Amino acid sequence: MSAVPTPAAEGAPRSAPLLRVSDLQVHFPIKRGLFFDRTVGHVRAVDGVSLAIDRGSTYGLVGESGCGKSTLGRAVLRLVEPTAGRVDFDGTDVASLSGESLRKMRRRMQMVFQDPMGSLDPRQDVESLLTEPLRAHGLGGGRKELADRVGQLLDAVGLPAAARRRYPHEFSGGQRQRIGIARAVALEPDLLIADEPVSALDVSVQAQVLNLLEELQERLDLTYLVIAHDLAVVRHISDVVGVMYLGSLVEQAPADALYDEPLHPYTRALMSAVPVPDPVVEQRRERILLAGDLPSPADPPSGCRFHTRCPWRQETRCDDEVPVLRELGAGHWVSCHWAEEIRDGVLAPKSAEEVAATQGVSVRAGAGALAETDALVQGVDQPIERT
């Protein structure tokens, strides 16, 4: 079992973490057969992730689409069953709970889903949506108490009292997300998992929802696990940031440390795609383009999973030795054999063309050509070069 990286954000509480995930795995079977299904392999959506989140802090989890970050969040809540590993919430192993014990524990752990329209019942009005979890857990009292509680929730998320009689389709995307947040905090949870809470919203609305989350955290003493692909969003709201690649955690550090000095090659490639609001700096700074496609989680590469796209790949260790997540600085964990050499400039990166040549793929010519992206940074034309 790998060591659990413990957050070390400035001002973080010294008590035991509220959430501790140890070597968590979620593997989905691949079945084939004409008459009888047989398992021919597994999709390793989450493959040995360990992390810890302090009370009252915000942990930001970033990575490409398909890296397993949403599956990790759902596994913490047991919305999908973990294959192996342990999830300790406030000292209790969530994986060992069932029935009524699990239902009571879920009151303390809630989720804000990526698509508010898909997570809200279109046949229920807002009042019904907000009172349903209260009734399910025997909270809120009589009709008047429930009505008062709905009014408090709407006020907390910045919606008018008249919204209680309206249906989800009558609201904008940002307002629907506010309803989803109100429903999530209705039970006064300790942990809130926000899965891409602003990815479907306009930029101006994103700022409003992020500010709302910060206000609610301060007011209700919430702990957040924020899952996102937008690096700017994660930096704005997180105390500690973890970077996932192909089901594994490759780097974790306090937000400022990660953005100031990323150590893993994958993180450095992501950071190089973040636009700088200075045209002179933007014109001169180094851009790291990655060659090739993201490997399949059903058949991940041997050794370091990033070695097929890594500009710093070496002939030894990278292809056949799995790097361990180790601490190189105060709270700064990285999973790379050559992190120190890369940091100190001892190893020079290869060009995207050189990396592509070793993998039998090609890279488009011309730095100005538009490239396909994974939307890791909104508004950036070419954070990652694809073939």
Confidence label for 382 from pLDDT (cuts 50, 70 and 90):
very low
pLDDT at 116: 81
Terminal Cα-to-Cα distance of the chain (whole angstroms): 37
CB burial of residue 99 (10 Å; 0-12, 13-18, 19+): exposed
Mean pLDDT of 183-195: 94
Q: Which residue has the tokens 């710093």?
A: 312
Whether the CB-CB separation of 197 and 33 falls below 8 Å is answered with no
Cα four-point dihedral sign 363, 366, 369, 375: positive
Residue 363 — pLDDT band, cuts 50, 70, 90? low
At 261-274, the pLDDT tens digits run 999 999 998 888 77
Please state the rounded mean pLDDT for residues 1-12. 56
Residue 366 has pLDDT above 50, yes or no: no
Q: How many alpha carbons lie under 13 Å from residue 162 in its C-beta half-sphere?
A: 2
Asked whether residue 171 carries a pLDDT value surpassing 50, the answer given is yes
Cβ–Cβ < 8 Å for 185, 156: yes
Q: What is the DSSP string of 151-205?
A: HHHHHHTT--GGGGGS-GGGS-HHHHHHHHHHHHHTT--SEEEEESTTTTS-HHH
The residue ranges of every structural domain in the chain are 19-245, 261-359
pLDDT tens digits for range 327-362 = 998 899 999 999 999 999 898 888 777 776 766 555
Higher-pLDDT residue of 193, 353: 193
CATH assignment of 19-245, among 3.40.50.300, 3.90.650.10, 3.30.390.30, 3.40.50.170: 3.40.50.300
What is the structure's pLDDT at 349? 85
